[in-house]
Amino acid sequence: MDMKFLMKQAQGMQRKMEAIKEELAHKEIKVTSGGGMVELVINGQQEIKEIHIEPDIIDPEDKEMLEDLVLAAVNEGIRQSKEMLNEEMMKLTGGINLPGLF
């Protein structure tokens, strides 16, 4: 393979990766914890867009429970968002896992 061809292929992949990043910025996942008492929306770039907390769960005497529910929702949202990113990258690379692309 000649170097020009490889450079062209790399540039094409870079453009596709940028398009995927942009697309993932608009894809959102809704995650809940505590049976729906805490809900968050996260996009495919691991940016939290919204957090909703049911007023019934807010108890000044038990703020640790609320903190735990928020933390659980955030961690699950990040996990699902990364999974979505990995699925998109597998489509781009034809199923070959290339660590460090994003």
Structure tokens of 33? 């914890």
Domain boundaries, the chain: 27-53
Q: Please state the rounded mean pLDDT for residues 34-57.
A: 95
At 59, the pLDDT band (50, 70, 90 cuts) reads very high
Q: Does residue 52 carry a pLDDT above 70?
A: yes
CB 69 within 8 A of CB 34: yes
Residue 70: name the closest of 34, 18, 24 by CA.
34
Structure tokens of 80? 């699902």
Cα–Cα distance for residue pair 60/54, rounded to 1 Å: 14
pTM here is: 0.75
| Alpha carbon separation from 2 to 6, 11, 15 (Å, rounded) | 7, 15, 20
Q: Does residue 16 carry a pLDDT above 90?
A: no
| Alpha carbon separation from 58 to 37, 39, 62, 66 (Å, rounded) | 10, 14, 8, 7
Q: What is 1-37 written as a DSSP string?
A: --HHHHHHHHHHHHHHHHHHHHHHHH-EEEEEETTTT
